[in-house]
Amino acid sequence: MNRDDSRWLRNYRPGPPRTAQLVCFPHASGSASFFLPMSRALSDDLQVLAVQYPGRADRRGEPTVPTIGALADAVAEELAGRLARPTALFGHSMGGLVAFEVARRLEAQGHRLLRLFVSGCRAPSRRRPRAVELRDEADVLAELERLGGTDPRLLDDRQALRAVLPTMRNDYRAIDAYRLAPDAVPLRTPIHAHVGDSDPEVLPEEAEAWRGHTTGPFDLRTYPGGHFYLSSPGCDLASVLRAELSTGQRA
C-alpha cells in the first residue's frame, strides 16, 4: 500500500502536494480499484483517494458492515484527520448514500467540504422498494447483467459470482434498510448529481431530488448510458470533476 493508505483508503497514484483531494466511494459489492481509471485521469491535478469497504479485495477476510450509517461512521472518523487539503466526496450508486452520510457527519463536526458528487444514486428522499432477491449466483448474474458495466469474464465465472454473493447481499440489505434521519438538516456543501440517461436504477427526477438535500448550489448532469455510464469510453466525467474542483478551490 502507498504510504498514504490506511485500512479504509487507497491512494493508487499520489497527486501533487497542496492540491484538493477527491475521496471516492464505490457501488454495492464494488471495491476501491473501481476508481483506478479516475485516479489515473486526475492524479496530475488532484489527490484521489478510494474507499475500500470491508469484505472485498484485500479486505475480503473482514466481516462486511451491515448498515450505511456504520460505514459512514467509520469513514468519517478516518477522514476527519485527513482534511488538511480541500476535500470533495464522490460516491457512485450505494457509494452516493455513504458519501452523503459521511458529509453529514463531517459537517456536524464543523468541517467544510468543497463538493459532494453523487453518481447513479437516487436522493435519500426518493426511495423505491427493491424487487431483487439475491438467492444464488444466478440471481447475481441477472442483476449484474441488468445494471451493465461488469467485465464479461466475471459474468462467465460461476466461482467468482459465488464469491461476490455475500457482499452483494449485505450491501443491498444495507441500501434497503437505509432511512434518512427525520431530524436531518440539508447540507451546506454544494451537491452535483450525475446520472446516465438510460439508468434503470435512477430516473432524472430521482436524481434532481438531491436539490432538496443542500442549502448550497446544486446541479444535475446527464450522460449517455446506463447505471455505469461513467465507465463508458466516451464519458469524460474526470474533466467535469477537475473543472468543478478547480472552481471550488478558487471560491
Summarised one tens digit per residue, pLDDT across range 46-76 is 999 999 999 999 999 999 999 999 999 999 9
Homologous superfamily in CATH for domain 9-125+183-250: Alpha/Beta hydrolase fold, catalytic domain (3.40.50.1820)
Distance CA 95, CA 201 (A): 14
SS3 193: strand
Name the packing angle between helices 68-80 and 158-177 (round to 10°): 90
pLDDT at 3: 43
SS3 48: strand
If 0-12 CB within 10 Å is exposed, 13-18 middle and 19+ buried, where does residue 165 land?
Answer: middle
pLDDT at 135: 62
Distance CA 223, CA 119 (A): 11
If 0-12 CB within 10 Å is exposed, 13-18 middle and 19+ buried, where does residue 189 land?
Answer: buried
Q: Is pLDDT at 2 greater than 60 in this prediction? A: no
Residue percentage of the chain with pLDDT more than 90: 69
Average pLDDT of the residues in 142-156: 65
pLDDT-based confidence at residue 166 (cuts at 50, 70, 90): confident
Average pLDDT of the residues in 144-158: 65
Report phi then psi at 92, rounded to 5: -105, 130
> DSSP H helical segments within the chain, as ranges?
36-42, 68-80, 94-108, 137-147, 152-155, 158-177, 204-208, 237-250
Q: How far is CA 113 from CA 1, 99, 110, 207, 247, in A?
A: 26, 12, 10, 21, 13
Cell representation of residue 99: 458519501
Which residues are tagged catalytic? 93
Q: Is pLDDT at 14 greater than 50 in this prediction? A: yes
pLDDT at 4: 55
Which of the pair, 251 or 210, is modelled with greater confidence? 210
Give domain limits for the chain.
Answer: 9-125+183-250
pLDDT at 189: 98
Cell representation of residue 153: 469474464
pLDDT at 223: 96
Of the ranges 30-34, 181-185, 205-209, 245-249, which one carries the lowest mean pLDDT score? 245-249
Q: Is pLDDT at 126 greater than 70 in this prediction? A: yes
Number of other residues whose CB lies within 10 A of the CB of residue 153 = 8
Distance CA 80, CA 244 (A): 23
Q: Is pLDDT at 171 greater than 80 in this prediction? A: yes
pLDDT at 137: 65
Which of the pair, 200 or 90, is modelled with greater confidence? 90
Burial 20-54 (b: 16+ CB within 10 A, else e): bbbbbbbbbbbbbbbbeebbebbbebbbbbbbbbb
